[in-house]
Chains A and B, each alone.
Chain A
Amino acid sequence: MRNAAWPMPLDGNDTMGTVFAGTVWFTVYVIGLLLPLTIALLCDPIDVVRPFLLELGVALGFLAYPLMTSEFMLVGRIRSVSVLYGNDVLMYFHKYMGLVVLLFVAVHPLLASHGDFAQFNPFSSAASPRHGAWSFWLLLALTLTSRFRRQIGLGYGAWMVIHIVLAVAICALALVHVLGVAGYSSSSVVRTVMIGYFIGFLIPMFRYRVWSYYQMASRRWQVIENRDEGARVRTLVVKPIGHPGFDFHPGQFAWIATGHPVTSEQHPISISSSAELGSDRRIEFSIASLGDWSGRRVPQAAVGSSVYVNGPFGAMSTDREPGQGFVLIAGGIGITPLRSMMLTIKDRGDPRPVVLFYAAATLNDLVFRQELEALQRQIDLKLVLVLSHPPGDWTGERGHIDRALLKRYLPKQAMRFQYFICGPGRMLDAMEEDLVALGIPRSRVHSERFDVV
């Protein structure tokens, strides 16, 4: 049933290939950052010696521009990149390099103008500094709306629109600023390169915001079941209509919209079903009620209604990490990608042992509990359920997953297992720290976060 062009479980050679491809991508990224500065240095149309600090300021500007135009590449849902690094890694890197852009853009005019703060005046009568100043202030607005989105009550959908509009405006103004300064950009080669970077910025923007939405809209999926799993979690079972859908690795996620992708919010949701697809190629998304979309729109998604799915994305998968067995650690709704991993292990007849640590507040908050207990008889699974508020007759573990609990249940060959963690951010931090403290190699601990913004 599996199309040869679609993903298959990775072996050791594939993992090496992934590392190699990741290195190549990063090298290309760094070369891309340095190219405008290098070309400016080689073309150098300026005919006098200028102060060191001025040239340093100019150099920071020549680095800030490719940094800002490449920011979108990092988060543009480019599947081949997402699979290499993981979406959360790219999101965090995007966030940190965005701050570097802000730093460079702030320091650039001060160094280039001997500390003249008038360069930040967005109403300057000189065109070039005015464009630069607007680019800076919009960049500051973009950074602040991202950093304080929740505090200022900005919804994810509205924030995304603002973020994209500001990003395009910032890059366009920066380009106009660069072209207007009669310095290095008086070289036609430098000007061409700078325009090329802006076009290179627009292409993934077009691909992400126009083409992928068109593709998504033209590949309809149908809800064939909307199941209440308890614990305020619903599972949408969807199947592709008129197209083959997609294969995925267990642990990956997809973007899902319950309305038309152009007008509806899209949400990154882990696929919770087995990666071994049946004849109708259905997949499942288990969604906890956390906000307006998940709490109201998802329960209302009727059987027979259309949804739109774009995927798969993400690098956290048992297929990607060869090991003698797996330790899975879940908190709350974090069980969903791990469920996909266990169901896939079952469907493939994979004999490797699995230890699942699953923490929740109460017994009713344990999603898929009966299914997990049944799985113990179908695969080599050790189930460790942990409740922070257990009922009186609870015979499982109490409290939280901590170092002592992990140590008690980890198998003897724990060093040769692969570890997958999914849950709230604080839990991920604690588990990563505990596992490394227990001697598990850092390279064997895998997680993916969705709460970056």
Chain B
Amino acid sequence: MHHNIILRFAMGLTALLIVLSLGFAWGVRGREQRFAAREPVHESVYTETQAAAAYRERCAGCHPRHEPAAWAARQPAPAREASVLSLLQQHGKASEAENRLIARYLAQQASGS
């Protein structure tokens, strides 16, 4: 009885924490407008150095370069960059312009160029 009460209590607290996590995930969805005015990185200024820097800043903390490059290499070549871009857009740590830079960078790495 004693420990059953504690177990129920712990389960109640866990449920509360999960609900608050859901609330958090819902709450941060409103940041799109907040960063709309952020200075974009233009695709036209693509350089490998800049793209590699964007990769290091946004991705390398969790994914060593060979992992997504290997994944990109498995995508059909004509749509490779688009596939990588789509994945990055779903993952979403970088801005849209940075995603495009990184997608092209990884696609080029996968193609060996």
Q: Chain A residues in contact with chain B, CB under 8 A?
A: 30, 33-34, 37, 40-41, 44, 46-56, 58-60, 62-63, 88-89, 92-93, 96-97, 100, 103-104, 113-114, 118, 124-129, 180-183, 428-429, 432-433, 436, 442, 445, 447, 449
Contact = CB atoms under 8 A, between A and B. Distances in A.
Nearest to B26: A52
Nearest to A63: B17
Given A37-B24, A49-B29, A49-B32, 7 more contacts: A33-B17, A34-B20, A48-B32, A50-B28, A96-B7, A126-B67, A127-B61
Instruction: Tell which of A51, A62, A103, A449 has the most Cβ of chain B within 10 Å.
Output: A51
B92 A49 contact: yes
B7 A92 contact: yes
A128 B67 CA distance: 14
A55 B3 contact: no
Nearest to A442: B1
Nearest to B32: A49
A448 to B, nearest CB: 9
Contact of B95 (A48, A89, A128): A48
A83 to B, nearest CB: 17
B61 A48 contact: no
Interface stretch (B8-16, B42-50, B74-82, B103-111): B8-16
A440 to B, nearest CB: 12
B94 A181 contact: no
Closest 4 pairs between A and B when the two form their complex, measured CB to CB: A50-B92, A96-B10, A59-B21, A55-B25
Contacts of A92: 2-3, 6-7
Binding site of A, secondary structure by majority: helix, strand, loop or mixed? helix
Given A93-B10, A124-B64, A432-B1, A47 B21 contact: no
Given A96-B6, A182-B61, A52 B91 contact: no
Contacts of B93: 46, 48, 50, 182-183
Interface of B: 1-3, 6-7, 9-11, 13-14, 17-18, 20-22, 24-29, 31-32, 35, 38, 57-58, 60-64, 66-67, 90-96
B64 A100 contact: no
Instruction: Tell which of A62, A96, A97, A183 has the most Cβ of chain B within 10 Å.
Output: A96
A56 B27 contact: no
A51 B6 contact: no
B17 A52 contact: no
A44 B1 contact: no
B61 A100 contact: no
Contacts of A34: 20
Contacts of A433: 1
Contacts of B32: 48-49
A105 to B, nearest CB: 13
A47 B3 CA distance: 45
A41 B28 contact: yes
A53 B92 CA distance: 11
A90 B23 CA distance: 29
B25 A59 contact: yes
A64 to B, nearest CB: 9
A429 B25 CA distance: 41
A33 to B, nearest CB: 7
Given A55-B28, A126-B60, A48 B96 contact: yes
A92 B68 CA distance: 43
B61 A181 contact: yes
Contacts of B9: 93
B101 to A, nearest CB: 14
Given A97-B10, A126-B60, A63 B92 contact: no
Contact of B20 (A37, A52, A126): A37
A53 B6 CA distance: 30
Given A63-B21, A126-B64, A182-B57, A428 B91 contact: no
A30 to B, nearest CB: 7
Contacts of B62: 113, 126, 128-129, 181
A48 B92 contact: yes
Given A51-B90, A52-B25, A447 B2 contact: yes
Instruction: Tell which of B9, B63, B64, B95 has the most Cβ of chain A within 10 Å.
Output: B63
B86 to A, nearest CB: 12
Nearest to B21: A59
Instruction: Tell which of B1, B10, B62 has the most Cβ of chain A within 10 Å.
Output: B62
Nearest to A60: B21
B2 A428 contact: yes
A33 B13 CA distance: 11
26 contacts: A37-B20, A44-B28, A46-B28, A46-B93, A47-B35, A47-B38, A48-B35, A48-B95, A49-B32, A50-B92, A56-B21, A58-B25, A59-B20, A59-B22, A60-B21, A62-B24, A63-B17, A63-B21, A89-B2, A92-B3, A118-B67, A126-B61, A182-B58, A428-B2, A442-B1, A447-B2
A181 B92 CA distance: 14
Nearest to A93: B6
Contacts of A432: 1-2
A37 B28 CA distance: 11
Contacts of B28: 41, 44, 46, 50, 55
A92 B2 CA distance: 10
